[in-house]
Amino acid sequence: MDLIYTLNIIGTFVFAISGALTASEKKMDAFGSAVIALITALGGGTLRDILIGSQPVGWLLDPNYLYTVLAALAFSYFFKKWIVKLTRTMFLFDTIGIGLFAVLGMQKTLSFGLSPAIAIMMGAVSAVFGGVLRDVLSNRVPLIFRKEIYATACLAGATLYYGLTFTRLPENWSIWIAIVVVMGIRILAVRRGWGLPGIK
């Protein structure tokens, strides 16, 4: 699970940077940026833990998550110009991050004895709700409600992972396959301008 833990930390780092950049667009000060970064990175898992009743919520028990967010904040502060140029790399890690958060969020929910449909949904919550909170706190209609099929990719990945648990594949493989599928859907969606229909 070491690689998984490392990816979890990297995902947290990238999500925190995305929060910090949003805060900077909104001309927030360092404290506001810290809060938005924290909520973007940890908000999804926090909501999942509160809903399923896993308290104290995960990141309170492992201070590395807090330190990762603080590091991401310092990093955004000193290297903002450089980050802005790295859109592709950021997008890559962000996509790995949501895939991973979706799968791990689902696993945790199943381990609390909840049903697969709920677990798949909690996977998507873990992956995307941080971004939703980021947007609400910055006073804009959440991006995810209007564009990309971000969350749909998470639901697909979590569902696939659940299916794979019934095969003889080793767990790590299932996780990776699910992540790759999330990434694939999302990348294709961005490239081809896919979107979901609304209610006319």
State the residues that interact with a second copy by CB under 8 A.
20-21, 23-24, 26-33, 35-36, 46, 50-53, 55-57, 60-61, 63, 66, 76-77, 80, 112, 114-115, 117-118, 121-122, 132, 136-142, 144-147, 149-152, 195-200
Cβ proximity to a second copy, 116 vs 171, nearer residue: 116
Smallest distance from the beta carbon of 38 to a second copy, in angstroms?
9
CA-wise closest residue to 41 among 93, 2, 78, 87: 93
Query: Tokens standing for 121?
Result: 């949904």
Where on the phi/psi map is residue 27: left (φ > 0), alpha (ψ -120 to 50), or beta? left
Smallest distance from the beta carbon of 109 to a second copy, in angstroms?
8
Three-class SS state of 16: helix
Smallest distance from the beta carbon of 172 to a second copy, in angstroms?
28
Smallest distance from the beta carbon of 151 to a second copy, in angstroms?
5
Q: In this structure, what are the phi and psi dihedrals at residue 27, rounded to the nearest 5 degrees? A: 60, 35
Cβ proximity to a second copy, 170 vs 198, nearer residue: 198
Residue 70: CB atoms within 10 Å: 14
Cβ proximity to a second copy, 7 vs 124, nearer residue: 124
- CA–CA dist 51, 126 (Å, integer): 11
Contacting residues for 199 by C-beta, under 8 A, at least 6 apart: none
Cβ proximity to a second copy, 121 vs 181, nearer residue: 121
